[in-house]
Chain A
């Protein structure tokens, strides 16, 4: 079955540091999205990517859609305590629903 592997699974960083996480697939997908989820809440959309090689920014967040269409990266610059949460990548499947990755849990130490 399809899988989206995210790495790292978890990371602990100092406030102010930059963060990088990635998401890989064994299959090609044409739309990639990044979500952030706080405990007890639904996921919140951060960035959507539609074109291979595309680099998109949203404030301190930057995401890239890999040229092979099998991966994506999310970078967070100058992390702050409210960046804490679980970051999920997701892809749009042929059945018009989202398939989510395994998540990267981010902890920011003040």
Chain B
């Protein structure tokens, strides 16, 4: 296992369309996180899973955002009715019992 994998790396979508991103964590990691990063800022927490349970959600995660981790392995992040303000890098990270989180390369979303 070479690390956290995210797909796609880049996504351009028209405003109002739905998009879905996938994250495959490091295989023995039971914790999975989604973060969002805009230009010039540090990553901001969106949501956190321990196994298949979604334990935390940020206020940044509006009703248009939904995340799942159905079998406690890979996770998906869906954004419905995308807006231009959703343009950002979406980062997935995973960790074992330690708090050290390992990040994927991210999915860069551009809403036009």
Number of interface residues of B (CB under 8 A): 26
Whether the Cβ atoms of B48 and A103 lie closer than 8 Å is no
- Range, interface on chain A: 20 to 34
Q: What number of A-B contacts does a CB cutoff of 8 Å give?
A: 60
Interface string of B30-58 (1 = CB under 8 A from A): 01010100001111110010000001100
Whether the Cβ atoms of A100 and B42 lie closer than 8 Å is yes
Stretch from B65-73, B78-86, B95-103 at the A interface: B95-103
B28 CB to nearest chain A CB (Å): 16
Q: A42, A98, A100, A102: which contacts B104 (Cβ < 8 A)?
A: A42
A51 CB to nearest chain B CB (Å): 13
Interface set of B (CB-CB < 8 Å, partner A): 4, 6, 31, 33, 35, 40-45, 48, 55-56, 91, 93, 98-106, 108
